[in-house]
Structure 1
Amino acid sequence: MPIQWFPGHMHQARQEMQAILPKVDLVIEVLDARIPYSSENPLLAELRGQKPCLKVLAKSDLADESMTNDWLNYFEQTAEVRAHSVTTEDVPTIRKLKQIATRMLPHRRGNKINAMIVGIPNVGKSTIINVLAGRKIAKTGNTPAVTKQQQRVTIGDGFALLDTPGMLWPNVHNVNSGYRLALLGSVKETAMDYGEVGFFAAKFMSAQYPDRLADRYNLESIPETELAIIEAIGRKRGCLGKMNLVDLDRASRILVTEVRSGGLGLLTLETPEMMEVEKEQTAAAILAKAEATKAKDALRKKRFRDKQRAQRKSREMD
């Protein structure tokens, strides 16, 4: 299920971000602690360059704590990057972000600091802004793309935040990342298929957290296939239609909703080691696709040239 959701305001946000970055001292990137890699925008890394970056792992109260620590250590291996985890309810921890960001810019001490805060849709960026500002400035919601345009927010002590719309990138090449984004609600429902995302969730849970799956849905054993898992959940939750068949869409929605809400416990869907492997696989897939496209174009050109030669030869014979 390729994710290709890039509304017009996101394209505009990219252009505005690129224009304002030279005037920014620091970038604060809000990530989902359950998918730190998949929620990291590769376009931002490209645009940011060597500018200091504070990566904030939000919703850490829904993530596996030990894996969150692994991700914090992983990100801080990069010289200009610092990482910190927060939860929506822990206001003091969120307020510390301003102090952490200020310490990252010792050369700006005593001067005004302009920070750009960015993040993919539905990652909790607006909630963090409201806590830092001490008042409701940014709109919040459980659906992606609530923020539609840039706004400047002063949070005291000469520190200003430039809020930007949640921005995905034109194509999510890593298929697994696309599923993870959809599973956790970073993609609008109209751009995803609940059945496919539910099957992905079933496969992940059966491989990584089978006991939780069994306990949550009162399963004596975990079925061998994703289809069988979804059907078992559907029967336990009464998702039955005509002829006593399971409504796979309804059953998938139940599983997806409960993964998102924490009903299946604290989950982290990816590790740094897993992502290193997937990055290599994705790069190989992109290269193979580019080579296939190049070969197809070459064949098309050859056929065109052969056709032209045949036409010239036909005219010469006439």
Structure 2
Amino acid sequence: MSIQWYPGHMAKAKRQVSEQLNKVDIVIELADARIPFSSRNPMLEEMVGNKPRLIALTKSDMADAAVTDQWIQAFQQAGFEAAAIHALKNKGAKPIVDKAKQLTAPMFEKMARKGIRKRAIRAMVVGIPNVGKSTVINRLVGRKSAKTGDTPGVTKAQQWLKVGNDMELLDTPGILWPKFDPPVIGYRLAATGAIKDEILDAEEVALFTLNVLKERYPKALKERYRLDDARVEGGMELFDEIGRKRGCLQAGGYIDYEKAADIILSDLRTQKFGRVTLETPQDMEDILQETT
């Protein structure tokens, strides 16, 4: 499956982000803790350049905590500051401000030596659609300033928002990139809902999801669908078994794969399998080695 989706408003947003970068002190890049590598826009490397950057892993309450710790360590080893946040319970919002202060301290010290009066940190918040950007911003600001929703592409325009006296945030629309390569990145984005469902082959995405769960979270998979050990074979056999278990049958006893796929993806996105992470730092290393 090759996923290509680059709506006009995203191309416009990319231009806007590039134009506004010289107005900010730091970039806060949000990534989904369930897919920390696949949910990072590779175009940001060129766009952001040497600007200080903080990687904030959103939806950490939905991700495997042990794997999230691995990701934070991996990002720090790569030279990035990183933090896991749980915006809905207001966990992790303060560390974002604290780390932003830490990263911009050298700049403000330089300004002070020149006699320039200190001001609030100007930060740009960037991330792909449906990464939880608006929710994080609302927690930081302390009021409902940014629109939130489960549908990718809710935020369409840029706006400045105040975080107390310490920071000003520039919200930006979610930006995807023209083509996901290798295809596994597209599968991961699709499984977590970063791409609109109507433009995908849900059955392929569900099959991918099942194979990941079978390999890494077999107990959760078996418990959710009450599968016998002999039934967790993977591939279409597993897909068929879940379809039968969930009553996804058409006339003649054939499996309704579309209905079964919807159930599987909904179960993943609503945490019916518990806390699940679809990729590890080793997965990232494997992709980077293949593409270099």
Q: TM-score range by the shorter chain?
A: over 0.9
1:287 equivalent in structure 2: none
* Structure 2: runs of 5+ lacking an equivalent: 110-117
TM-fit CA distance, 1:158: 4.4
Please say which structure displays the higher CA radius of gyration.
1
TM-score after normalising by structure 1: 0.86
1:108 equivalent in structure 2: 108
| 1:96 and 2:107 are equivalent in the alignment | no
Distance 2:146 2:120 in 1: 22
Distance 1:236 1:190 in 2: 25
The number of residues matched between the two structures is: 282
Distance 1:112 1:90 in 2: 26
- Which structure 2 residues correspond to residues 1-318 of structure 1 after superposition, within 5 A? 1-79=1-79, 81-106=80-105, 107-108=107-108, 110-221=118-229, 222-281=231-290, 283=291
Structure 1 residues 92 and 228: alpha-carbon distance in aligned structure 2, compared to 1, 3 A threshold = closer
Structure 1 residues 92 and 197: alpha-carbon distance in aligned structure 2, compared to 1, 3 A threshold = closer
Distance 1:130 1:249 in 2: 36
- Structure 2 residue matching 1:76: 3-state secondary structure: helix
State the Cα RMSD in Å.
Answer: 1.3
Structure 1 residues 216 and 158: alpha-carbon distance in aligned structure 2, compared to 1, 3 A threshold = closer
TM-fit CA distance, 1:105: 1.0
The one of the two structures with greater contact order (alpha-carbon pairs below 8 A, sep at least 6) is 2
AA in 1 matched with 2:33:
A
AA in 2 matched with 1:105:
T
TM-fit CA distance, 1:25: 0.5
Distance 1:17 1:88 in 2: 24
Q: Is the 8 A contact 2:30 2:55 kept in 1?
A: yes
Q: Is the 8 A contact 2:57 2:84 kept in 1?
A: yes
Distance 1:71 1:224 in 2: 29
Q: Is the 8 A contact 1:95 1:131 kept in 2?
A: no
Distance 1:50 1:270 in 2: 27
Distance 1:134 1:95 in 2: 12
TM-fit CA distance, 1:92: 4.7
TM-fit CA distance, 1:108: 2.1
Q: Is the 8 A contact 1:4 1:191 kept in 2?
A: no
Q: Is the 8 A contact 1:59 1:86 kept in 2?
A: yes
